[in-house]
Amino acid sequence: MDGKTEQGRGEWILARLRESGFDPILVMPGTEAGEAAGRVILAFMTYLPEKRDEERDVWIHPYYPVSQRAYRAVESLCREGSEMGIRVQQAPEVRLKPIFARIESEEIAWIVRGRNTLSYLPGVGSRFHVQTLLTDEDVPVNTYLAAEGRGPECGSCRACLEACPTGAILDGGFQKERCIRFWQLSGKLAPEEIRKANRNRLIGCDVCQWCCPKNRRPERAAEDAQRQREIALRDILENPKGMSEQLGPAIGRNLALPNRLLTQALVMAGAERRQGLKEQVEALTVHPSPSVREAAAWALGQFDEG
């Protein structure tokens, strides 16, 4: 990058983001996003809609493979930029939802929030992941923040309220303690009524996105989800360390920790009353992890009820 102007350095950042599949890319003054100076870049990576495949042994929401791909792309960009003296870094501490509610941009018409607390891009809907970068380079600004934020624009639509399998979305607001995904991400064992609604979901839910009229209907299975079709619940129960290594790059290392995988796999086995896995479940009732033991005992109880 020797001899490049400041503008050339900024153009390099944008070009690398586009090459990695980010679109749109919003750039705002850092001061508007709570930073002292520089530019804040919001890089969006979208993914294909996919209805949950209830016949699949293990279902993974397509958001998670896409978010991991986006994270690795930006991590690589920052590392490469640092080697060339370009000042750019990841900025995960920037709070996105307050920014989304106030965006005024040349690149997009708006971003709105739904009753389910998810944000929606025009023409895309809620199926996207955002990586946030901070840079001192001269990247052209295309986004500013309005003084007032926008609230939900759902009108009289109640599709997500009626469709949520655990009743997490109410007229009075979103109840995160009733959300399947909230408990999956928490690393804690969900309350029993939430476990029963989990079905074959390893991570993610998607019901409120699937029914939302602001989202496109699926045309085909997402490519990243296709790659996960052969994952077997039995394999997670019998070889959690091996499956942790396999799933880590797709859903993130923290979500793929062996005991977290085991606990969630046991919830899935119990929720779907997978009687054929009873031997594997029984073996885990003496596991060192309290959450694994509790989930195994619960799953066995669900088998007996069936």
Radius of gyration of the chain (CA): 21
Domains and CATH numbers, the chain: 6-145 (3.40.109), 166-204+232-305 (no CATH)
Q: Is the peptide bond before 98 cis (omega within 30 degrees of 0)?
A: no
Per-position DSSP letters for 169-237, written without gaps between them? EETTEE-GGG-HHHHHHHTSPPPHHHHHTTTTEEE---HHHHS-TTSPPPSS--HHHHHTTT--HHHHH
pLDDT on residue 151: 78
pTM score over 0.95: no
Q: Identify the burial level of 23 via C-beta atoms within 10 angstroms of its C-beta, where 0-12 means exposed, 13-18 middle and 19 or more buried.
A: middle
- Per residue in 73-90, pLDDT tens? 999 999 999 999 999 999
| pLDDT per residue of the chain (306 residues) written in tens, 0 to 9 | 444 555 699 999 999 999 999 999 999 998 887 776 799 999 999 998 776 777 789 999 999 999 999 999 999 999 999 999 999 999 998 999 999 999 999 889 889 899 999 999 988 899 999 999 999 999 999 999 998 888 788 889 999 999 999 999 998 889 999 999 999 999 899 999 999 999 999 999 989 998 999 997 765 555 555 455 578 999 999 999 999 999 999 999 999 999 999 999 999 999 999 999 999 999 999 999 999 999 999 999 999 876
- Per residue in 153-186, pLDDT tens? 888 999 999 999 999 999 888 999 999 999 999 9
Distance CA 213, CA 112 (A): 13
Quick one: which of 48, 145, 138, 22 has its CA closest to 88?
138
Distance CA 19, CA 175 (A): 39
